[in-house]
Amino acid sequence: MKILIARMNHETNTFSPVPTPLEAFGREGPCYGDDAYRENAGLRTAMSAFIDAAQREQAEIVTPISASANPSGRVAAAAYDAICRSIVDAAAGCDAVMLDLHGAMVAENSPDGEGDLLERVRRALPHAPIAVSLDLHANVTQKMIDNADVITSFKTYPHVDMYESGEHAARLLLDLIHDRAKPVIAWAQPPLLTHTLRSSTAEGAMKRAVDAARAAESEPGVLAVSVLSGFSLADIAAPCASVVVVADGERMRAQQVADRIAMQIWNQRDGFVYRSAPLAQSIREGAALARNTTRPILLLDHGDNCMSGGTCDTTDAFEEALKQGLEGIVVGPLCDPEAVAKLFAACEGATVSVSIGNKLASVASRGKPPLDVTGIVRALTDGQYIISGPTYTGQRAYMGRAAVLETSAARILVTERTHEPWDLGVFESVGIDPRGARFLILKSRMYCRPVFVPISGGLVECDSRGVTSSDYALFTFANLKRPVFPLDLSAEY
């Protein structure tokens, strides 16, 4: 048996000004062939699980590409075409396909990146079974459903079960190949734009929905149930919540389960809506928490969150913290290649005045000048480190060149690339012990929590009204199918 295994991951924020060329998919672009295999073998991605499953089958493995980029703006047409072409061109002669996809990719030439790819793969291999593992924040489309035999998704956010989702999809595909099961897919999609901060699987309506999915998987004939919160910062027809069910030969049974859980989600739709407090109030709350602990207080700047397509260069939260007199701040990573170049030119130990941030035209920074700061250059590095986990455990991370500027109130980590603070190594790699901070201002919603919450004395969510803000009124949706909740309170399902 010859199995095609590939990875194409990108969550597209169509409101983000951060470009997504081919070079964004990896350190200097995607990995191909044997390098794509090595990038995933033995790790914890869905593609890693596909490789392990294929090896247990003693199958011939074809890995044309592994392409994963941080969330950002629309994928460049040339990049999308190159990634798709790599996968489709490798399909000839393959008996099965396993794809590690995000599910919320929008390219300049495709509003449905994954659906269009799957359609092309199906056309190239009309009789080969196709299994797909999706991110929990996938925007599912009919074209995805029509061109896959098996679909599973993560059941955790923060995502710590990527491997398990791939393992599940691979198992069902092999059951199909060996005539142990006949997977069929059904889905349901209520008109609901969820907020990412309400898609945590540890609490609330999302936890109840995922619990219902897990329970349904124990019902006779139900092989997999996935609850996908969707990614609403994509101006497409339906960036909405979905339920995807795989059943053994009974499409009606699959549809009944999908409809039942989708109705549960709709009936609890208020639980998927997040309302931000004013930024100044959030910073005051953080200052109050700090009076009762010696451990760092997390100030999560989710309005400029890297892993939702943020520019990572808005300074609103940092400026408000300085305005309120907070000290002992560690902030970052702030993405500003121009400032990094100036700090590298000055060398370590030098006192430098530099303008940081507000250089990309996002919601928050439009027309706002950069923040002028003066401090001592404390570290200059290549910005690389190994992620300790639990997310992307063992992978090498690249922040671009990184510099630390120390002022009287703060240590500022400035990088050439947008980067999610999902590991203590973000700071430890540049000589900062985050445990010693009084306040950690992180451009993150959720990924930082598994590693930073355990060292903290409290957490406050701060909405800087950047390009990943929870305030949908900041964004103009031109392609969204209306009515949809919560933009339209009269929406029905």
Asked whether residue 348 falls in the same domain as residue 380, the answer is: yes
Long-range pairs of 258-261 with CB within 8 A, sequence gap ≥ 24: 258/186, 258/187, 258/188, 258/225, 259/188, 260/212, 260/216, 261/188, 261/209, 261/212, 261/213, 261/216, 261/225, 261/227
Query: Measuring CA to CA, which residue among 239, 249, 280, 286 is closest to residue 102?
Result: 239
CB atoms within 10 A of CB 358: 22
Asked whether residue 294 falls in the same domain as residue 387, the answer is: yes
What range defines the domain where residue 336 resides?
A: 279-469
226, 253, 272 — which closes off a domain? 272
Residue ranges of the alpha helices (H) in 192-336? 204-216, 251-267, 279-290, 316-323
In a domain, 488, yes or no: no
Query: Measuring CA to CA, which residue among 189, 256, 164, 173 is closest to residue 219?
Result: 256
Q: Which SS3 state, helix, strand or coil, does residue 303 take?
A: helix
Cα–Cα distance list, 9 to 27, 48, 320 (Å): 14, 14, 35
pLDDT tens per residue, range 264-281:
999 999 999 999 999 999
Asked whether residue 177 falls in the same domain as residue 296, the answer is: no
Asked whether residue 182 falls in the same domain as residue 247, the answer is: yes
Asked whether residue 319 falls in the same domain as residue 208, the answer is: no
In a domain, 169, yes or no: yes
- What phi and psi values does residue 119 have, to the nearest 5 degrees? -60, -40
- Rounded CA gap, 138 and 227, in Å? 10
- Give the distance from CA 239 to its chain's centroid: 15
Asked whether residue 263 falls in the same domain as residue 184, the answer is: yes
What confidence score (pLDDT) does residue 390 get?
A: 80
What confidence score (pLDDT) does residue 46 get?
A: 97
Q: Which residues in the chain come in under a pLDDT of 70?
A: 361-367
pLDDT tens per residue, range 449-460:
999 999 999 999
For 377, residues 6+ apart whose C-beta sits below 8 A from its C-beta are: 343, 346, 347, 348, 349, 350, 351, 352, 403, 404, 405, 406
Whether the Cβ atoms of residue 415 and residue 390 lie closer than 8 Å to each other: no
Domains in the chain, number:
2
Asked whether residue 175 falls in the same domain as residue 310, the answer is: no
- Rounded CA gap, 36 and 15, in Å? 30
In a domain, 476, yes or no: no
In a domain, 477, yes or no: no
- Rounded CA gap, 158 and 169, in Å? 20
236, 252, 272 — which closes off a domain? 272
Burial of 456 (0-12, 13-18, 19+ CB in 10 A): buried
What confidence score (pLDDT) does residue 393 get?
A: 82
Asked whether residue 248 falls in the same domain as residue 316, the answer is: no
Asked whether residue 284 falls in the same domain as residue 237, the answer is: no
- Percent of the residues in the chain that have a pLDDT greater than 70, as a whole number: 99
What confidence score (pLDDT) does residue 446 get?
A: 87
What confidence score (pLDDT) does residue 391 get?
A: 74
pLDDT tens per residue, range 392-442:
788 888 899 999 999 999 999 999 999 999 899 999 999 999 999 999 999
